[in-house]
Structure 1
């Protein structure tokens, strides 16, 4: 069961870049970070408009003097304060992630960043090296991996319940952008603009979520080759894709496929992962996140429910379980679980406790591999959807 008694002497002093008024992702960051009392929001560069920044920041309890319209000024000013921020979350368009993360690390701040972490593997490796040099945490918000049943699946695979892993089917295929809705939606417009979003749309925006579920469930499995075909069914989005299919060969002989789409008309979310082994299969769907389908060859299909005593009780699954079985948990609980892990890892760094710092969370390596995946998909697609070596 989740341990609500974890507390620090003082909450981590936390700031935000982006995530201002009207930002859904900003709200979920704040809800997750503040839920368990491990962070305190004391500063923010919420908006590039100074008046809007102060108005929004003060409305959510931040002192006006610590509401900044320029993140560089925030980092500089906060670094001069004895009570300045210790960690910053970045919830901005993709274009800014690298520069903002680098600036924060150089100032000695821990970072929690939206994905993709940056645009290129070279940039991601630079951030990783800088974080290691400064002994700082980079967390990447793959927010679906805080669900208990993801860690139940990981433990089942680790224990051999599925046998030898053969096939991994992944998808994240919604239909909300099956028309050119970005004409009247600035929050989407930047996602389909290469200068703001980077080299991909759906692959980087939602495809890396689905891929990371597989990486969490089967951490020892590595992609050897992949082939990517991507399309812009809404022509104005080209060269960025709104649909893509990726085929993967893994280093143990397993195969995988990923369908990622924003034009799956009628689809609400449709993020699913199915892992097929030599003895059994499991399947998880984020619209029903409290259940895991378990199918053993020759036996009736089983539906495993979150919170039950028959689940594996390893640390990661149990500490992700916030309330007894039968009560539905959702995305806010998943994100809160991740923010608790970020907090524990950051606190351990501050105190120099290396053992406590070994806690699992989506880290800089998760961010790096997401960028590597995007790069390889683009390379494959732009060369005629050919198979490419992954590394």
Structure 2
């Protein structure tokens, strides 16, 4: 169980690029990083493309004014001159900027935590992975939902053979908040998401489905996709060629089949984030709207609801427990879990502790690469007319 005691010798000096006042994700990063004040300490930032607004925001966060910078280039340069300069940076900016900022951060000798999708192409990810290895640095990806520890319970139960051989994978991440174009016109955080020059080759495939795809990999690390078919639509026409709805069919190498529905136009839906894994003996199902519960259905037996924090759960699940079963955890705790693992990974990398890195389960650069490959293959299938393509 986690109780705030330090997992590394001291907090890492940490900064943010982006994540300012109008950001949809900045606060999630800060609550995740700072939940355990033994993991990260926020000491600097280039929070906004508007330098004055970014400085005002940073002062209100309690960051020293002389460490609030107009852009990331200045921050990396000036912080490198300090004995107490930053050691890690989070990138919470639009997709099209991730690649150049991530490279600059690694060149400056910093560990990196980056929003998803990581970059536009898998070739870019492979290039940055090589650079990270050369510099001896960690690149983590903020698949924030993956810190929900009941996903680790699913992983353990599948490894233990509790559901038998996996036959069907049913994935969904949908909501209805973009069922019209109002937010496209009024929300700064939404405008860039539907602009191909900034968002890249996809909207909901990158913004939503990469979360769920990574979570499925976390749960089933040995399940590999052989081929897929993606059919995507732009129901709000001004978003074309970017999709606001997509259906994906998957064939896995072991013969299992899968589906993914991802959508921002599921009108009336507040949170349709669900994972169901069907095996030859039983099924497991988890909903983001009920993150503390896991449904376990054994054929011919009463349905079981497993509750977060209970002693009957696997140790790998309860290691990330924070509040005990009587109290409810949620997305903030999930982000805190992955940020703590980012810190442990960075500390281990600094010390050359490869054993810790080998056994640590967190969204690393390989997870980021898989997310970009997922988008590339889905877009390739859709653009060919919704045809089956080999998963490359």
TM-score range, shorter chain: over 0.9
Aligned-partner Cα distance in 2 for 1:378–1:206: 14
* Superposed counterparts of 1:296-311, under 5 Å: 296-311=298-313
| Alignment deviations for residues 234-290 of structure 1 (CA, whole Å, 9 cap, x no partner) | 000000000000001111111110000000011111000100000000000000000
Q: How does 1:235-314 map to 2 (within 5 A)?
A: 235-314=237-316
The structural deviation recorded for 1:353 is 2.1
Are 1:3 and 1:319, in contact at CA under 8 Å, matched by a contact in 2? no
Q: CA deviation at 1:6?
A: 2.2
Deviates more, 1:252-261 or 1:5-14: 5-14
Report how far residue 109 of structure 1 moved: 0.5
Partner residue of 1:351?
Answer: 351
* Alpha-carbon displacement from aligned partner over 1:20-67 (angstroms, at most 9, x marks no partner): 113231111111101111111111010122211211111111111111
Kindly provide the CA deviation profile for residues 95-144 of structure 1, in whole angstroms up to 9, marking residues without a partner as x.
Answer: 10111111111111100000000000110111111111211101000001
Is this contact kept in 1: 2:22–2:188, CA < 8 A? no
The aligned residue for residue 212 of structure 2 is 210
Worse overlay, 357-366 or 111-120: 357-366
Output the TM-score relative to the length of structure 1. 0.98
State the match for 2:116 in structure 1: 115
Structure 1 ranges of 4+ moved more than 6 A: none
Q: CA deviation at 1:326?
A: 2.5
Hey, what does 1:376 align to over in structure 2? Answer: 377
Matched, 1:129 2:130: yes
SS at match of 1:244: strand
- Unmatched runs of 5 consecutive residues or more in structure 2: none
Q: Shift in Å at residue 312 of structure 1?
A: 1.3
- Name the SS for the 2:177 alignment partner: coil
User: Map of 1:157-196 to 2, 5 A cutoff?
Assistant: 157-181=158-182, 182-196=184-198
Give the equivalent residue in structure 1 for 2:24: 24
Q: 1:187 deviation in Å?
A: 1.3
For 1:138-157, what aligned pairs fall within 5 Å after superposition? Answer: 138-157=139-158
What is the aligned-residue RMSD (CA, Å)? 1.0
Specify the alignment match of 2:34 in structure 1. 34
Cα distance in structure 2, aligned partners of 1:72 and 1:328: 41
Aligned residue-pair number: 389
Cα offset for 1:8? 3.6
Question: Unpaired segments of 5 or more residues in structure 1?
Answer: none
Q: Distance in 1 between matches of 2:230 and 2:240?
A: 16
Residue in structure 2 matched with residue 4 of structure 1 by the alignment = 4
3-state SS of the aligned residue for 1:44? strand
Per-residue CA deviations over 1:346-388 (Å, capped at 9, x if unaligned) read 0111122222223211000000000000000110000111111
Distance of 1:239 and 1:339 partners within structure 2: 34
Cα contact 1:50–1:68 (8 A) shared by 2? yes
Give the structure-2-normalised TM-score: 0.97
Task: After superposing the two structures, state which structure 1 stretch, 281-290 or 77-86, moved more.
Answer: 77-86
Instruction: Give the conservation status (yes or no) of the 8 Å contact 2:7–2:344.
Output: no
Secondary structure of the 2:277 match is strand
Aligned residue for 1:322? 322
Task: Give the secondary structure class of the aligned counterpart of 1:310.
Answer: coil
CA distance in 2, matches of 1:308, 1:288: 16
